[in-house]
Amino acid sequence: MPWSPNPRSASIIMLSGQVTFTIGGESTLLAAGDCLFAVVDRPTLFEAPSGSPAEYLVIQEPA
């Protein structure tokens, strides 16, 4: 997600594959079927650890 100084909440829903979601240095591995809610108030990073394709849905709103 692009960095913004305005905090917002995000729901991340994994559709297929795996991604590591990192926010402020804290990482969580997400796999197909997982859902995560986070307050995005620091830079974030999505990485596919296996190098395989992954699909996910991000729903954002102001925090």
* Contact status, residue 39 vs residue 45, Cβ threshold 8 Å: no
What local confidence, expressed as pLDDT, does residue 7 receive? 75
Bridge-based pairing state of the strands 26-31 and 44-47: unpaired
Please give the mean pLDDT across all residues of the chain: 87
The pTM for the full model equals 0.78
Please enumerate in sequence order all residues whose Cβ is within 8 A of that of 55, keeping only pairs 6 or more positions apart, or say none. 14, 15, 16, 17
Checking if the pLDDT of 50 tops 70, the result is yes
Lookup: tokens for 3: 């960095």
Amino acid at 10: A
Checking if the pLDDT of 17 tops 90, the result is yes
Checking if the pLDDT of 36 tops 70, the result is yes
Domains parsed from the chain with CATH numbers = 8-62 (2.60.120.10)
What local confidence, expressed as pLDDT, does residue 8 receive? 82
Checking if the pLDDT of 1 tops 60, the result is no
Of 37, 45, 38, 36, nearest to 2 by C-alpha is 45
